[in-house]
Structure 1
Amino acid sequence: MSHAWGLGLAQVVGAGASALLLPVLTRVLGPDAYGQWSLVLVLISYVLPWTDLGVARGIIRFCPTYDTSDARLNVYRTVRRFAFMVSLSMGVLLAVLSPWLAQIAIGDAADWHLLCLIALLFPLEALFRVGTAFVQAEERLAHYARISTGRHVGELLLLTIAALLTADIAWLLLARIISLSVVVAWILYAGRRQLATQRSDWSLAPIRQFVGFGLPMIPAVFVWALIMSADRYMLKMWSSVSDVGLYNVADILALMLINWTRPINGVLQPKLANLRSTNVAESERYIRISFRWLAVLMAPCAVFLATMGRPVITLLSGAAFADAAHALPWLALGYVIIGLTNPLYHVVYLRRGGFAFLWLYGAALAVNIALNAVLIPQHGLSGAAFATMAAFLAYAVGLFALALPNEQRMIAAESMALVKIAGSAGVAALVMATASSHGHLAVIAGALAGGIIFFILMLVLRVIHRHEIRELLIPVRSWLRPRKGPEQ
């Protein structure tokens, strides 16, 4: 497990690199144009989950059950071909309907060319999802981390160049297409030797099985995308596009909390898929340890954002975006809640599939829309952020209700650790808040001091243990002293 977490640290570098794009886009585009770009990204989040009809999730769930490598490779070839044909058909349909859909989704039929560019992402995204899902199912975690990091860093470089050369959103989309094309070509090239010896066997059986498992989750993901975007559309309706841009800045910074959980969550679902039928005790150990470490990783970061949000946003995006800090405390709390539910999410999803999440996400969406309608007209950004946090909390309560009694007991057993973590985070918050109004150097010093104090308290209170830290550092030592051998 420690080796898997260490390999996942590479994903933090990639996703963190993407956040470096924030100062470029916000300063070049300004609040209004950046708000428009945010709406385009929301539209992409609506349509791209449909590209593979859920077969990528089926690969993670069922590929480990095949006995031989040849059987896994053969089914991978089959579902990859299926996903490509389906996504290509969807992309063509989106391009044909682009003049009509542009008016609905973006607000201007003249932006139909943006939808045509999004259509080009369809087959690329499908191949990326299927390719990375197979790598995860095989537990080739180092390769998966390299792919993920490569995509994030590539997008960072190309989007930065495009934003500096022009403020045209079409060029930003084109940069994203080029970046994804390179990564997909890398995936296909890396797997060509393995697939060269496999016979072509077009069978509908694995497709039906994989789609049957993964497809029900797509409507649930769509509803989840509505939760993530309802506040933006309602801010545009009752406020302005510039407020959408401000909210998106706060949301991106708060999402960095989830970024710190990637070393755990990036490998948790495929690992549990392999263990759930072979070693139940080991899977329970994964859940307990991951839940505790998720809280330890996210708590100091959430405190940092809540107490030092304004100087950080001003430093990154300029004074025009400083008011985005009003949304940060509630969004940070919301993403902490979501991060803590991830181990339980993987367990419930692997056992019950996507149908269970349809009503759960729907209930969270209803909470979000109702609170947005009440709070945005009076409280603006902070009201939208509170509505999102409340929706996440409703989702967490529902997810806990879906868990089995033994799973609920496992999570409840860690409640005392959560109390210790919250108390230590409060101490760190006092240190950071004291430094937040004394300039950028004081902000950095306060953040470092608060983080150090927090982790010292974690060791003193025995929330984390020295042997766990030593285990987590095993991959770092192996990178410093590389040894020849097969990839873990």
Structure 2
Amino acid sequence: MTDDLTKVVEDSARGGFFLISGSLSATVISAVTSILIGRLLGPELYGQFYLSLVIPQMLLIFSDLGIAAGVTKFAASLRAEGKHYQAAKIIKNAILLRALIALIFFLLNFTLADYLASVLLRRPDLGFYVRLTSISIAFNMILTIANSAFLGLDKTHNAALITNIQAISEAIISIGLVAVGLSITGAVLGYVASYAVTSIVGLSMLLLILHRYLREKKNPADDFSFPQTFKTLMRYGIPLYTSGILAGFIYQYQNFILAIFTTNSDIGNLRVAANLITIITVFSAPITTTLFPAFSKLNSSKNAELTTFFKFANKYVTLLIVPIATLLIIFSKEIVEITYGSKYQTAALFLSINCLLYFLVGLGYLTLTSLFNGLGETRITFKINLIIFLTLLPLSPLLAKAYGVPGVISALISANTAGTCYGIYTAKRKFKIKIEPNSIIKIYIIGVASTVPSILLLQISTLPQLIKIISGGLIYLFTYTTLAPLTKIVNKSELEIATQIVQKIKPFATIIKPFLIYQEKILNHQKSKT
């Protein structure tokens, strides 16, 4: 692995650590906030609060135009080429463009709040709250741009920081205002204020970085005008924007199919399963987010570097996600009962089936989109989403009618399989990129084999459920970590690179280094025997 490629891997590892740790803490804070506000407001008012956010959040989907992804891509690629001034200029113009779009959508939401509450929500009495939450659109859009810029500029610690500032701000302001008697108005004000505070902090941090870059000497040819920025971002972003619209429609289409073919109880159980699947997304989302700017730094003409990095990234993402998904399947029943109680009888089954989607990770399910977007091939990303959509369209009602909720989940898995297969085929044809089939197959095998001790524990143990999950999980991870070097999934050179990288990320090193040392000892022991 070249020095440049090692640097990209190092940046990705650092970025992934900050985003995962930031996402974990923010998720916990948000969950606690949600529970406390839900308890203070009660089911009726909490439902009204949730509905008040629907229209602004829906408008945010339509307002992006792929600009945020474009900022990450061009900030990363231009910075990798040493063009800091151009990177800063395109970010600055993107902030202005985003602010203009935010103003339009804010005015749209603010002016039509009563009408939208009446027609879309069927609750005209929520017009005031919908109008109040419209203010969050402008702040949210600016915050998204700042976050995207931080990712592209390798300032992931800033991205993690502002994510937590938003969660903490909402917790303090919302809970405080609701507790003093402002009810739903307090919850809405807390939500809006949290984005106002965070966007101001995030934008201030970003402008300080940009000011430093903009002071660099430049050639007149390096300047990026506002019209140039608009054209560049639109050319790159519109396919991604269309993909996002398709993804949003897929989600709503599935809800529509569920409403027709399943019961309220089934939908409630599926909602529980969807909430618990975030245990995987807390890890997968930051990884895919980090890989996006990493691929943006690589040149598509350098096939050797691109292939090496993709294989490395895909292999280690698979190595991380497979055990998490497997553990959720094994302990699905216990996890559901501890978190939601025994009344959600089919949630464990739905959770287990949902986890199967993440077994596509070895084929590039979590890495291909980052690859194509990073290389500027957003049209391929759009085609992948179109294939998913066109596959899901007939399959979802057919399987839902025959099998209910498991049929709907199976349709989603089948559609994503089709999209992922097209993606890996295109990556191979266009960029000569391949996966490592031997390593990927071995990961799946040891992922399944490592379940044996944990399943035995479940069958024979009379321990409390929480103790079963903790002890069974630790046994599984020990077995999995032992089998990885024994089966040559990881080798000595990879462990040396990994050790070299994690040593530069102090908090990360504390967690990961003991595992690396343990695996290295196993490899050394094997070598001494031969």
Structure-2 residue corresponding to 1:385: 409
Under a length normalisation based on structure 1, what TM-score does the superposition of the two structures give?
0.84
- Contact persistence 2:18–2:160 (CA under 8 A): yes
Structure-2 residue corresponding to 1:182: 197
Distance (Å, rounded) in 2 between the aligned partners of 1:41 and 1:386: 30
Instruction: Indicate the SS of the match to 1:400.
Output: helix
Which has the higher Rg, Structure 1 or Structure 2? Answer: 2
Aligned pair 1:4/2:30, yes or no? Answer: no
Instruction: Indicate the SS of the match to 1:56.
Output: helix
Letter in 1 for 2:137: F
Shift of 1:109: 4.2
Q: 1:65 aligns with which of 62, 72, 78?
A: 78
Distance (Å, rounded) in 2 between the aligned partners of 1:314 and 1:299: 23
- Contact persistence 1:292–1:417 (CA under 8 A): yes
Q: 2:304 aligns with which of 276, 281, 297?
A: 281
Aligned pair 1:213/2:228, yes or no? Answer: no
Unaligned segments of structure 2, at least 5 residues: 1-8, 216-222, 511-530
Aligned pair 1:422/2:444, yes or no? Answer: yes
Question: C-alpha offsets along residues 429-450 of structure 1, whole Å, 9 cap, x if unaligned?
Answer: 3333334464221221111111
Aligned positions, number: 479
Structure-2 residue corresponding to 1:357: 381
Unaligned segments of structure 1, at least 5 residues: 482-488
Q: 1:53 aligns with which of 52, 56, 65?
A: 65
Shift of 1:269: 1.5
Q: Superposed, which structure 2 residues align to 1:49-448 within 5 Å? A: 49-63=61-75, 64-65=77-78, 68-102=83-117, 105-113=120-128, 115-151=130-166, 173-194=188-209, 203-240=226-263, 243-262=266-285, 264-276=287-299, 280-337=303-360, 340-351=364-375, 353-377=377-401, 379-405=403-429, 407=431, 409-411=433-435, 414-436=436-458, 438=462, 439-448=465-474
Shift of 1:155: 5.3
- Contact persistence 2:78–2:86 (CA under 8 A): no
Shift of 1:84: 0.7
For the structure 1 residues 236 and 165, does the alpha-carbon distance in structure 2 shift closer, same or farther, using more than 3 Å as the test?
farther
Distance (Å, rounded) in 2 between the aligned partners of 1:224 and 1:335: 17
For the structure 1 residues 210 and 249, does the alpha-carbon distance in structure 2 shift closer, same or farther, using more than 3 Å as the test?
same
- Contact persistence 1:220–1:354 (CA under 8 A): no
Letter in 2 for 1:400: I
Structure-2 residue corresponding to 1:459: 485
Question: C-alpha offsets along residues 340-362 of structure 1, whole Å, 9 cap, x if unaligned?
Answer: 32322222234464333344323
Letter in 1 for 2:357: G
Shift of 1:382: 2.5
Q: Relative to structure 2, which stretch is displaced further, 48-57 or 30-39?
A: 30-39
Letter in 2 for 1:395: G
Distance (Å, rounded) in 2 between the aligned partners of 1:91 and 1:447: 47
Shift of 1:376: 3.3
For the structure 1 residues 166 and 455, does the alpha-carbon distance in structure 2 shift closer, same or farther, using more than 3 Å as the test?
farther
Under a length normalisation based on structure 2, what TM-score does the superposition of the two structures give?
0.78
Distance (Å, rounded) in 1 between the aligned partners of 2:269 and 2:180: 23
Q: Relative to structure 2, which stretch is displaced further, 291-300 or 333-342?
A: 333-342
Distance (Å, rounded) in 2 between the aligned partners of 1:434 and 1:171: 50
For the structure 1 residues 375 and 277, does the alpha-carbon distance in structure 2 shift closer, same or farther, using more than 3 Å as the test?
closer
Greater RCO, 1 or 2 (C-alpha within 8 Å, sep 6+): 1
The RMSD of aligned alpha carbons is: 3.7
Distance (Å, rounded) in 2 between the aligned partners of 1:236 and 1:162: 36
Distance (Å, rounded) in 1 between the aligned partners of 2:177 and 2:320: 34
Distance (Å, rounded) in 2 between the aligned partners of 1:337 and 1:211: 31
For the structure 1 residues 32 and 381, does the alpha-carbon distance in structure 2 shift closer, same or farther, using more than 3 Å as the test?
farther
Letter in 2 for 1:429: T
Distance (Å, rounded) in 1 between the aligned partners of 2:386 and 2:44: 30
Aligned pair 1:471/2:500, yes or no? Answer: yes
Shift of 1:468: 4.5
For the structure 1 residues 461 and 338, does the alpha-carbon distance in structure 2 shift closer, same or farther, using more than 3 Å as the test?
closer
